[in-house]
Amino acid sequence: MGIEKKNETVKIIPLGGLEQIGMNITAIEYGDDIIVVDGGLAFPDDDMLGVDLVIPDITYLKDNQEKIRGMVVTHGHEDHIGAIPYIEKELSIPIYTTKLTMGLIDYKLTEHGLIDNIRRKVVTYGQIINLGIFRIEFIRTNHSIADSCALAIYTPAGIIVHTGDFKVDFTPVFGGVIDLQRFGELGKKGVLALMADSTNVERPGYTPSEKTVGKTFDHIFDDNRDHRLIIATFASNVDRVQQIINSAYKYGRKVVVDGRSMVNVIHIASELGYIQIPENTLIDIDEAKNYPNEKLVYITTGSQGENMAVLARIATSVHNKISLIPGDVVIFSSSPIPGNEKSVYRVMNELEQKGARVIYHDTHVSGHACQEELKLIYALTKPKYAIPVHGEYRHLKRHSELAHEMGIPKENVKILRCGDVLELGEDKFDIVGKVPAHGVFVDGLGVGDVGNIVIRDRQHLSENGLMVVVITLESGSNQILSGPDIVSRGFVYVREAEMLIEQCKDVVSETLSYCLSDESADWNRIKNSIKEDLGEFLWQRTKRNPMILPIIEEV
């Protein structure tokens, strides 16, 4: 694009999205200009007890706020837009993205009371925007949500192509086919680096078209004309919802949508014209009782076995409006995200036990490119450097091998970790530093107030329980007025362990006597001594290690 690039270098700083699925966010920096690509969240691991969401650590962005020119967003999935309200509360960055993605972001910003504070611009495919020294072009791709795009980022050091999440779908449900021609034209100009999606890099061949699922739905609707259908999928998979609605209309069924995120996404997509719902097809959940069961199909959240989602509540009979009927057909239209398999199978088992029939084969296709599609993008763009993104370490490692198979020298492929500062140019491709990039925990209304120490305490409590020791001392004389009293939670059932509790009191009394005989003993020392002595006694007796909390009152 006429930008002089001799001896220039640019920095790529992933703040999330590597060695994990989720929390995608990358800073790209040149001189006094920074652009941010995406702002996603991650869902907590099983060991992050009580945590609702994990959002990126944006310390580096806050420290360099005056350099940030804008945020460009590739598509509307939670792992790419979910953290935007939290980021915008701190930084107020202008946002540039496509129409549906912006609609979903607007909803989030409205929920957080930020919609009037943030400058937002909807862009179209092929459009180029200028953000400081950077020029960013939005390129049409296919994914499991409409309006997805790749980015061509023109920098003084050369062109960086970021694929976003993508697949090659020649028969998409909505919109056009991925703009492979543009990728080829960029390859002819010369691409400095390719940052490509690694999610499906372990799978050979090609990802099937989304339209194949529509045919499967038609067969399922045809085979189950006498049964009520309940279909769970990702709320954001608008094309999947469209195909369910198409089949429902074709087979004369009414559609009920349940689940807050599902209702919101369908409302936004419908308003913006990304989903077509035939008249009188969609009905309110309260109207369902007016129709025979075989004329109904429910579209719900919960395809990942989430505890509070609609499907799990139906399976455990706690949904206040939908009760499972023997003979119901329940369809899981998604693959379990790695780590969610147990939760998904648990819900499936509960549904089957209550007399439902569960279908999960051939009811989903991925939104991510398999090996041959990735090779195609490499062949078209011919990048000098390869930077695998979006995946766990094994995905990034396999992607680096694929890049090498496509002719890129091993020294020109880098597997980055979150927080690495990669400096690259025609003659440079090195990690030159590290910035903070640990996830920040969101727990209820608290953001960042729960850290690793609190999580460790929660794990300790969940595994070993709690023992509270209460002692009352007389002010001045330190005479014991009452106690030690012992309260146990999650350690032993007190009524069945009276002897153990009495022995614990004896141990504490002995420790107290020893400590109080030393006039210089302060309360901290007394508490630590109780923790040590009682902890050692309990370990010897029970081989358990509860959290011990001494409380000393002064009267």
Which stretch of 266-275, 379-388, 481-490 has the lowest confidence by average pLDDT? Answer: 481-490
Beta strand pairing call for 282-283 and 428-434: unpaired
Helix boundaries (H) for 207-296:
211-223, 238-250, 260-271
Amino acid in position 16: G
pLDDT reported for residue 252: 96
Concatenating the DSSP letter of every residue in 169-209 gives -SS-SSS----HHHHHHHHHH-EEEEE-B-TTTTS-S-PPP
- The residues, ordered by sequence, that sit 6+ positions from 499 with a Cβ below 8 Å of its Cβ are none
Give the confidence band of 480 by pLDDT, cuts at 50, 70, 90.
confident
- On the CB side of 426, CA atoms within 13 Å amount to 9
- On the CB side of 511, CA atoms within 13 Å amount to 25
More confident residue, 177 or 482: 177
Instruction: Assess whether 162 carries a catalytic annotation.
Output: no
pLDDT reported for residue 363: 92
Whole-Å CA distances, 163 to 148, 196, 385: 10, 5, 14
Q: Distance (Å, rounded) from C-alpha 73 to C-alpha 98?
A: 8
Say whether 449 sits in a helix, a strand or coil: coil
Dihedrals φ, ψ of 181, to 5°? -60, -40
Residue 338 is inside which H or E element, if any?
A: none
pLDDT reported for residue 473: 78
Q: Which residues pair with 34 in a beta bridge?
A: 29, 68
Give the confidence band of 250 by pLDDT, cuts at 50, 70, 90.
very high
Q: At residue 48, does pLDDT exceed 70?
A: no
Q: Over range 268-289, report the average pLDDT.
A: 94
CA 58, 60, 66, 67 torsion-angle sign: negative
Q: At residue 423, does pLDDT exceed 90?
A: yes
Dihedrals φ, ψ of 431, to 5°? -85, 120
Which stretch of 106-120, 345-359, 380-394, 461-475 has the lowest confidence by average pLDDT? Answer: 461-475
Q: Over range 466-479, report the average pLDDT.
A: 77
CB atoms within 10 A of CB 511: 21
Q: At residue 50, does pLDDT exceed 70?
A: no
Give the confidence band of 453 by pLDDT, cuts at 50, 70, 90.
low
Whole-Å CA distances, 497 to 64, 434, 511, 534: 58, 52, 21, 16
Q: Distance (Å, rounded) from C-alpha 446 to C-alpha 460?
A: 21
Give the confidence band of 508 by pLDDT, cuts at 50, 70, 90.
confident
Q: At residue 521, does pLDDT exceed 80?
A: no
Per annotation, catalytic residue among 75, 80, 368, 395: 368
Per annotation, catalytic residue among 38, 165, 197, 533: 197
Q: At residue 449, does pLDDT exceed 70?
A: no
Amino acid in position 159: I
Q: Over range 302-311, report the average pLDDT.
A: 85
More confident residue, 198 or 548: 198
The answer to whether 172 and 367 are in contact (CB under 8 A) is no
Q: Over range 43-61, report the average pLDDT.
A: 74
pLDDT reported for residue 1: 46
Q: Distance (Å, rounded) from C-alpha 106 to C-alpha 108?
A: 5
Amino acid in position 209: S
Q: At residue 337, does pLDDT exceed 60?
A: yes
Q: Over range 393-410, report the average pLDDT.
A: 96
Query: What percent of the chain has a predicted confidence (pLDDT) above 90?
Result: 66
pLDDT reported for residue 194: 98
Give the confidence band of 44 by pLDDT, cuts at 50, 70, 90.
low
Dihedrals φ, ψ of 419, to 5°? 95, -15
pLDDT reported for residue 536: 87
- The residues, ordered by sequence, that sit 6+ positions from 166 with a Cβ below 8 Å of its Cβ are 141, 142, 143, 148, 150, 178, 197, 368, 369, 373
pLDDT reported for residue 221: 97
Token output for 300: 């719900």
Give the confidence band of 451 by pLDDT, cuts at 50, 70, 90.
low
Helices then strands, each counted (H, E), the chain? 15, 26
Whole-structure pTM value: 0.83
Token output for 272: 């913006």
The answer to whether 82 and 40 are in contact (CB under 8 A) is yes
Say whether 451 sits in a helix, a strand or coil: coil
pLDDT reported for residue 2: 47
Instruction: Assess whether 368 carries a catalytic annotation.
Output: yes
pLDDT reported for residue 532: 87
Q: Using CB atoms within 10 A of its CB, is residue 192 exposed (0-12), middle (13-18) or buried (19+)?
A: buried
Query: What percent of the chain has a predicted confidence (pLDDT) above 70?
Result: 90
